Amino acid sequence: MDINIFNSLSREIEKFEPINNNSVSLYTCGPTVYNYPHIGNYRAYVFADMLKRFLQYRGYKIKHIMNITDVDDKTIRDSKINNKSLKDFTEFYTEEFFKDRDILNIIPPDKYTKATDYIDEMVSMIEQLLEKGYAYRGDDGSIYFDIRKDKEYGKLSHFKLTDLKTNADGRMKKDEYDKENTEDFALWKAWDENDGDVYWETSLGKGRPGWHIECSAMSIAELSEQIDIHTGGVDLIFPHHENEIAQSECSTGKQFVKYWMHNEHLMVDSKKMSKSLGNFYTLRDLIDKNINPLAFRLWLYTAGYRTKTNFTLESIKASEVALKRLNDAFLDLSEYIDGSIDKEYKNKLIAYMSNDLDTPGALSLLWDLVHDTNISKADKRATMLDFDNIFGFGFDKLKNDIIPQNINELVSERELARENKDWAKSDELRSRINELGYEVKDTDNGPKISKI
Ligand code: AMP
Ligand code: ZN
């Protein structure tokens, strides 16, 4: 069955055909490590993880690279505010990111590339752009990309250079700006006092790279001049990915990325969740509210990756209840270990996911499987485990709770009350068990106890 995905470049659903048969090169723009990522950022990383899991499920061999932006305007600004060296400051947030990644069952990429480890590659790419006439040195000593020399500039964001209102010699030294301010952008930023001790002495002079050149240089160094899939949130389309295309294609003369895939935003009250608006939650915030962070993963699947989602604590809590039901359903099958994967369900899962990663459809199929009474318990368990290769809920890591002695005793007492048809006592005992943080479910195989 073909895999069809939406390519932001053509703005169409396209059949997925990797450049080299069975192997897929995948690059994900990773975090700028100047703060704890918020869960909007994790939408981007869970999306990339789910895409990768699915392609692996379909038999592709993936080489996945994710960068860590450990030098840019924001990391320099905030390391100074915090009186820390850039290295110490960014290493701390990199470690915090890794912790969240593990909590969310995100599979690590084959390699994390730190921008500061690839300065040489960036410098040589900028040298090529200078040689080919796509770049020039501004009077401030920084090196800029001349967007008017690149006839294809704007092809990802779908605008024409002739429509731009800016004057031809406008220059942008900042990493982030909006379309209205489209100008020649900085490849290499000549040192100024705001940079403090953050600089490299190179053939380009004393300075540091612009943010956009980092991803071009790292993806080409670790993958190839032509890569299959590049992911990120939609806010990266302009200017970051537009500029990545310009730099990479003008220096290599080849198409840089075959499929650009972008996740939509996680919103709060109709506004993008972001650091600057202050309307964000971190993963820690959810954990502090006693919410199972994997419920966030399930919550993300309830909408397609190209749909804006509105974050509310209530909706995450509803997903937490749903995840608990799934986990309980899986744990109830613990003893049935020798099943086989149901082919019909597997094919349906493939059909949903091959349709531009239809996770709401895939999730409803998982519920159908859980509720299906015609499939044997052993096969159901095996199929749930197989599905989890894509969902990443971590069913295989679930363990039946160790039930304390006093709870076991109350449950036995309740069983006795039920045998004696003393329903009032049985209900009272159930309430006591609940108060102590456990719940008891009556099944064909006797009472099942679990933590609430
Ligand atoms: P940054 O660390 O700011 O470069 O962002 C890391 C990733 O998170 C990028 O792929 C962004 O596009 C993505 N991102 C940022 N905010 C949101 C949001 N509210 N919803 C979804 N993705 C986001
Ligand atoms: Zn990037």
Ligand 1: list residues with CB < 6 Å. 29, 31-32, 40-41, 43-44, 232-233, 235-236, 263, 265-266, 272-274
Atom of ligand 1 nearest to the CA of 267: 19
Q: What is the reported pLDDT for 161?
A: 74
Share of residues in the chain with pLDDT > 70 (%) = 98
Cα-to-centroid distance, 44 and ligand 1 (Å): 6
Q: Is the pLDDT of residue 101 over 80?
A: yes
Q: What is the reported pLDDT for 169?
A: 59
Q: Is the pLDDT of residue 317 over 90?
A: yes
Q: 315-333 b/e with 16+ CB inside 10 Å = b?
A: ebbebbebbeebbbbbbbb
Cα-to-centroid distance, 450 and ligand 2 (Å): 44
Cα-to-centroid distance, 310 and ligand 1 (Å): 15
Q: Is the pLDDT of residue 165 over 80?
A: no
- Which of the two residues, 19 and 162, has the higher pLDDT score? 19
Q: What is the reported pLDDT for 100?
A: 98
The mean pLDDT value for 117-145 works out to 97
Confidence of residue 167 (pLDDT cuts 50, 70, 90): low
Share of residues in the chain with pLDDT > 90 (%) = 88
Confidence of residue 350 (pLDDT cuts 50, 70, 90): very high
Structural domain spans, the chain: 17-263, 275-397, 405-451
Length of the chain: 452
Q: What is the reported pLDDT for 166?
A: 58
Q: What is the reported pLDDT for 182?
A: 81
Q: What is the reported pLDDT for 171?
A: 84
Cα-to-centroid distance, 69 and ligand 2 (Å): 8
Q: Is the pLDDT of residue 121 over 60?
A: yes
What CATH number has the domain spanning 275-397? 1.20.120
| Among the ranges given (163-177, 323-337, 403-417), the one the predictor scored with the smallest mean pLDDT | 163-177
Q: Is the pLDDT of residue 158 over 80?
A: yes
For 253, the token pair is 């003369």
- In the chain, the amino acid numbered 305 is Y
pTM of the model: 0.90
CA of 263, nearest ligand number:
1
The mean pLDDT value for 177-186 works out to 85
What CATH number has the domain spanning 17-263? 3.40.50.620
Q: Is the pLDDT of residue 129 over 90?
A: yes
CA of 213, nearest ligand number:
2
Spatial distance between the Cα atoms of 211 and 194, rounded to a whole number of angstroms: 16
Cα-to-centroid distance, 264 and ligand 1 (Å): 9
For 375-436, give the DSSP string: S-HHHHHHHHHHHHHHH---GGG--PPPPPHHHHHHHHHHHHHHHTT-HHHHHHHHHHHHHT
Quickly tell me which residue has 């900042």 as its tokens: 174
> Looking at the DSSP assignment, which residues form a beta bridge with residue 276?
none
What is the rounded average pLDDT for all residues in the chain?
A: 95
Q: Is the pLDDT of residue 422 over 60?
A: yes
Atom of ligand 1 nearest to the CA of 37: 2
**What confidence tens digit (pLDDT) does each residue in 244-265 have?**
999 999 999 999 999 999 999 9
Residue whose CA lies nearest to ligand 1 atom number 14:
41
C-alpha atoms less than 13 angstroms from C-alpha of 209 in its C-beta half-sphere: 26
